[in-house]
Amino acid sequence: MPRYALKVEYDGTPFAGWQRQADQPSVQGAIETALARLEPGPHTIAAAGRTDAGVHATGQVAQCDLARDWDPCRLPEALNYHLRPQPVAITACAQVADDWHARFSATGRRYLYRILARRAPPALAAGRVWHLRHPLDLDAMRAGAAHLVGHHDFTTFRSSICQAKSPVKTLDSARIESVETPTGPEIHLHFAARSFLHNQVRSLVGTLERVGSGAWQPEQVRAALIACDRAACGPVAPPQGLYLADVRYPADPFAD
């Protein structure tokens, strides 16, 4: 059976997350249902990462095995037709080796978190940013984020229900920038690592927001990290500002 890599974009707002749910809508369930309309199922797909309810993606990657030898240019068109009107789109497709795996073959992941800091509520970006009514000090946030980069025990920034075997991860980079968008300036936080713990990015963002608002000093981020105690974490940022932006592989399956 040919195996295909799918690059997936979705608005996570109406979904209970990526993972298939028995009684709630999921991104995985939507794609598997679309696949069943192309070929008899059941179909089980795997993804590079399981995003939570309300979390979005611009660069999620999934895999599927099909009986038919599909043209990688035609398969996304067929799937997108059957995915309508759900906010899910297959933006790229490639046939890959039988032992290629969307999750286990990945060598890195990058997440983006968007913050809109202004008094007026978002109209066009509602549900896609974390709206804050107060300004943030980006230099202070960068100083706090510098303590997080590297190989650490991230117990403080790990969900209590995280199933990872170890809380030790290497955060390759944490970049914070101000970005002009059509609806005004946003603060974008970029995090890159081989893999992440459950709720790690949202926990990091919530803690850095405390630094940017002046409630914490940048050095307190290091103290929270060293504590290895979930109680030392700042508030967890809401899901609607988070995006799985990119997944890296030794060779890009979507490269021409």
Six token digits for residue 168: 């030790």
Reply yes or no on whether 52 is catalytic: yes
Which pairing describes strands 108-117 and 184-193: parallel, antiparallel, or unpaired? antiparallel
The active-site residue, picked from 23, 52, 229, 252, is: 52
123/187 Cα distance (integer angstroms): 17
Six token digits for residue 240: 């609607």
**138-146 vs 200-212: helix axis angle to the nearest 10?**
130
Amino acid at site 103 = R
233/140 Cα distance (integer angstroms): 17
Residue 93 belongs to what H/E stretch?
A: strand 88-96
CB neighbourhood size of 48 (10 A): 29
* Of residues 233, 232, 247, 227, the one with CA closest to residue 92: 247
- Using left for φ > 0, alpha for ψ between -120 and 50, and beta otherwise, residue 150 falls in left
240/131 Cα distance (integer angstroms): 10
Q: Name beta bridge partners: 178.
A: 187
On whether the CB atoms of residues 204 and 130 are closer than 8 A, the answer is no
88/250 Cα distance (integer angstroms): 26
Tell me which residues are annotated as active site. Answer: 52
